């Protein structure tokens, strides 16, 4: 055992480490860049290690740029999108999974088709509609627009998970006195909780990262989301690269943190033990 090197194992480890490095390097580089003075940025020998003596850059951006407002707006939009998407998707998903009705196939297909329309194409009509509904320049409008995009995909994801809930368990609940809505709330939702967490992450990130709608449907400075704010402060005449990187890092970290929290719930095997497999 000890003398023979396990090649398969070694290669797998190498692959995993390279992938991790590839994924983590940009974040690391953002950190390094944000801590590098602008003058040194284009030096021939780049700094490879972060210079923590310049950590006050992060304080600076909060003072000089409305980063806090941007992040708060992004958080509102992302959380709103997440909650609303899941609330709106769960019943259609249950229906698609459990009921037979006329036009079910067409409905499922239509949900798919909505995924093929690019956001950019919908901006103009949405702008017109939102104008009529007084939703322009509100975070509510932004949440609604994002939710419209996430609901179909989340419906499909949840339908897949609900398909995996044994029908016997639902019937047992019916015998025990549950109504349909009781079944969905006390049996189905707990059993698809891992998928629900995954779907929540997807919706949250969509809201967090979304740019096109946030740029067009909202115009007030005070309602800008981080994606728009960040983009707006690149360019013009000069780009304060280290500030951009610092804000970028701040923008990325909450998302990473949320993902780390959520992924603990995204575990398989919730239905284990219910029925003989």
Chain positions contacting another protein, by CB under 8 A: 166, 168-169, 171-178, 182, 185-187, 190-191, 193, 269-276
**What is the distance between the alpha carbons of residues 122 and 107, in angstroms, rounded to a whole number?**
20
How many C-beta atoms lie closer than 10 Å to residue 142's C-beta? 28
Nearer to another protein, 64 or 176 (CB): 176
Are 36 and 258 spatial neighbours (Cβ–Cβ below 8 Å)? no
Q: How many angstroms separate the first and last alpha carbons of the chain?
A: 36
Shortest gap between Cβ of 274 and another protein (angstroms)?
4
Shortest gap between Cβ of 194 and another protein (angstroms)?
11
Nearer to another protein, 264 or 276 (CB): 276
Shortest gap between Cβ of 215 and another protein (angstroms)?
36
Are 21 and 233 spatial neighbours (Cβ–Cβ below 8 Å)? no
Nearer to another protein, 11 or 181 (CB): 181
Nearer to another protein, 165 or 203 (CB): 165
Distances (CA, A) of 227 to 67, 69, 159, 211: 11, 12, 31, 6
Q: How far is CA 213 from the centre of its chain?
A: 16
Shortest gap between Cβ of 75 and another protein (angstroms)?
21
Helical (H) or strand (E) element with 135:
none
Shortest gap between Cβ of 269 and another protein (angstroms)?
8
Q: What is the DSSP letter of 4?
A: S
Are 210 and 146 spatial neighbours (Cβ–Cβ below 8 Å)? yes
The runs of H, that is alpha helices, within 43-115 are 56-64, 67-98, 104-114
Shortest gap between Cβ of 95 and another protein (angstroms)?
19
Shortest gap between Cβ of 98 and another protein (angstroms)?
14
Nearer to another protein, 87 or 134 (CB): 87
194-225: buried (b, 16+ CB within 10 Å) or exposed (e) per residue? bbbbbbbbbbbbbbbbbebbbbbbbeeeebbb
Nearer to another protein, 48 or 175 (CB): 175
Nearer to another protein, 23 or 175 (CB): 175
Nearer to another protein, 139 or 161 (CB): 161
Phi and psi dihedrals of 179, rounded to 5?
-85, 175
Shortest gap between Cβ of 265 and another protein (angstroms)?
13
**What is the distance between the alpha carbons of residues 2 and 60, in angstroms, rounded to a whole number?**
54
**What is the distance between the alpha carbons of residues 277 and 258, in angstroms, rounded to a whole number?**
33
């Amino acid at each position: 055992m000890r003398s023979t090197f396990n090649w398969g194992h070694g290669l797998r480890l190498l692959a995993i480490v390279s992938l991790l490095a590839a994924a983590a390097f940009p974040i690391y580089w953002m950190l390094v860049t944000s801590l590098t003075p602008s003058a040194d940025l284009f030096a021939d020998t780049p700094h490879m290690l972060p210079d923590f003596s310049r950590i006050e850059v992060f304080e600076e951006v909060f003072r000089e740029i409305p980063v806090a407002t941007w992040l708060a707006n992004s958080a509102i939009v992302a959380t709103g999108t997440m909650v609303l998407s899941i609330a709106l998707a769960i019943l259609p998903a249950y229906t698609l999974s459990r009921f037979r009705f006329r036009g079910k196939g067409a409905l499922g297909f239509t949900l798919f088709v909505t995924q093929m329309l690019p956001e950019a194409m919908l901006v103009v009509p949405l702008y017109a509609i939102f104008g009529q509904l007084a939703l322009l320049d509100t975070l509510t409008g932004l949440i609604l627009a994002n939710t419209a995009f996430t609901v179909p995909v989340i419906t499909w994801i949840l339908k897949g998970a609900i398909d995996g809930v044994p029908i016997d368990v639902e019937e047992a609940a019916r015998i025990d006195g549950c109504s349909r809505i009781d079944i969905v709330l006390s049996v189905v939702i707990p059993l698809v909780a891992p998928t629900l967490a995954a779907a929540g992450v997807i919706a949250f990130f969509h809201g967090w990262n979304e740019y096109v709608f946030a740029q067009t449907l909202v115009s007030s400075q005070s309602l800008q989301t981080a994606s728009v704010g960040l983009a707006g402060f690149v360019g013009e005449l000069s780009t304060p690269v280290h500030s951009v990187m610092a804000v970028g890092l701040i923008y990325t970290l909450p998302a990473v943190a949320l993902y780390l929290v959520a992924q603990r719930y995204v575990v398989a095997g919730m239905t284990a033990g219910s029925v003989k497999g």
